[in-house]
A and B are shown apart, each in its own frame.
Chain A
């Protein structure tokens, strides 16, 4: 499966639609490689309305220029991180397991 196939897919929870896959989170803590360790998928970022990414403004350390930062902050309001183990299945829609946790998507 390609990551670009998963991005922008609708996400459905046990109680109905949650939004769309806006981004993914990886951690570079897999098997050590020559330069870096392998990346491991931590989870998917789900945004209620926005299918596009956040241009890097999901990082709390970046807040300028102010108008752009505020625009993207508004666009990512309500977005959250679902861990990979909480994902039940991925086909046309991404299904999330019952009892999943909404983690903060801020970095």
Chain B
């Protein structure tokens, strides 16, 4: 065995590569760790300078995030002892919990709108991509270009026309409106990505299914869809991340009813300014669904990104 190999990296280059990857991972993780830690700090610790790395963890931020509170007189506080641990936390500021905050509702809006628009984008995108990939569509190239052209400017550029359209159609501040909007933005991405994936699936699989006695549609969902799962998963992640994180349209088009979490989180006001621990707690919880979704799809995602690079 030779000591030098062209294909096998040397021990030293492995070390360097490892060190680079780890430092990059650390750098990208710092903001996330910061948010996670801030969520467990007291308001005073959160804004202390120099920043505290060691501190007494408290659930204050999370309690503040999920509740609305009001200041009470000493007599009232003495007459009504704290009901639970959350109550005890707010008592230190002479406050009592009067009810849940809007956060749960906003979070659910994000879930409904984010996953709803992702589902719709993938559903329509897969059908359209299949049609573009397999059938003779008149003006196919022009249509594909037209679909892509909707991505050639930032969506916010058309915010005002969309605002007016939504107002006239009664879609302002509705879940349906936001789902349609995010689907509209995502669908071009979905069609293009999925078309690439479906193009890679040999037609013979469907033809074999047709011969085996299945209809065209059965062949599509029994043979093509499982093959396209990789592409669907990675496309779904991209669509979800866009819809989940979208801020500008959410600010503009939603308020009392269909507001999503991104525009809500910064509005969490505490005593004497922004309640940073509550904001950080909101951000932490807000990260979780996308993280879980991505972890579930990770295997597909990795394959998806390298799909087509190597002939199987």
The judgment on whether A and B are partners is no
